[in-house]
Amino acid sequence: MRVMLNGEPSEIKDSSTVADLLDSLAIGRERVAVEVNLDIVPKAMYDTHLLSDGDKIEVVHFVGGG
Amino acid sequence: MALENDKLIIAGREFNSRLMVGTGKYASFQQMAQALEISGAEIITVAVRRVNISDRSKESLLDYIDPKRYTLLPNTAGCYTADDAVRTCRLAREAGLSDFVKLEVLGDEKTLFPDNEELLKAAKILVKEGFTVLPYTSDDVIMCRKLEDIGCAAVMPLGAPIGSGLGIRNPYNIRIILETIKVPVIVDAGVGSASDAAIAMELGCDGVLMNTAIAGAQDPIAMAEAMKLAIIAGRLSYKAGRIPRKLYANASSPVEGLLA
């Protein structure tokens, strides 16, 4: 299915959960936050939150800043 | 030392250091980590950005920062509306599991001055949602009072534009803010050198937040140490109570017993 991932159109496996997506990208779940269609997905929901075709997904983390 | 029990208290949390530093603009993460270490800072700011999906090889900031040792203060740098700032804070809380946020809502790219109307709007929402809000704002006592009234844990007036290194441009405004505001007053932005930081502390500020002054110095590690000392010196000087300014001289040596 196609989703928007951090502003880029991306192809991901059907019926992926947030956890599946992070695993496939080798992103550790502890240090990120995930938003799907402007709603934050709590870490406790990563294993159960199913992504859908057309979802707008943001995966953010901390970078250097003032 | 006279500063032994002189803790900075923000929202009930105690800190020994009154210097807060940013993590941006360093030549490397190693250099940043060294600068943080020597600065003695306990609160450090970070920004919230998209993970680079296409290039996962890059190291992560948090590989170099021990979250047990430092209190992370995520910022909303780059946000120009209350909505964007609130969204960023919610993401930051989820990523970092802390309620502390440095709230900034910018009005203009050239000055990076705050849009105080949007700032207040965002602060109200965030306070209601349980965030500990530290807002970057103008050196304007009315604005600071409004931010305090709605429940911000501190106010962070600018000394000069972000990254400008111009120092404390309006010490009188800062003094008025200090006389009026009960929550901690932290000068955020504008510091260029150690003397600027000392001036802020001598005015009676509760702390100083800086990034470029350290990261942009020719030797950031040395400047981090200079800032640490300047904050301590300025605080001691404030607590010690300076002499009044006078226009004319007042001899330090006795006038009695002079040779005829």
B68 touches chain A (CB under 8 A): no
Angle, CA B208 vertex, CA B203 and CA B210 arms, to 5°: 140
User: For the segment A4-51, what is each residue's pLDDT rounded down to a tens digit?
Assistant: 999 999 999 999 999 999 999 999 888 899 999 999 999 999 999 999
Mean pLDDT score across all residues of chain B: 95
pLDDT band with cut points at 50, 70 and 90 for residue B4: confident
Mean pLDDT score across all residues of chain A: 95
Nearest CA in chain B to A22: B53
User: For the segment B129-182, what is each residue's pLDDT rounded down to a tens digit?
Assistant: 999 999 999 999 999 999 999 999 999 999 999 999 999 999 999 999 999 999
What is the distance in angstroms between the CA of the first residue and the CA of the last residue of chain A?
38
Predicted local confidence at residue B19, as pLDDT: 98
User: For the segment A23-34, what is each residue's pLDDT rounded down to a tens digit?
Assistant: 999 998 888 999
Task: Give this complex's ipTM.
Answer: 0.95
Distance in Å, alpha carbon of B76 to nearest chain A alpha carbon: 9
For residues B64-73, average pLDDT: 92
Residues 169-198 of B with CB under 8 A from A: 189
Nearest CA in chain A to B45: A66
Cβ atoms within 10 Å, residue A32: 21
d(CA B75, CA B108): 17
Task: Return phi, psi of residue B53, to 5°.
Answer: -75, -40
What is the value of pTM for the model shown? 0.93
User: Smallest Cβ distance to A60: which of B22, B91, B189?
Assistant: B91
Predicted local confidence at residue B1, as pLDDT: 61
Cβ burial of B31 (10 Å; 0-12, 13-18, 19+) is middle
Distance in Å, alpha carbon of A63 to nearest chain B alpha carbon: 5
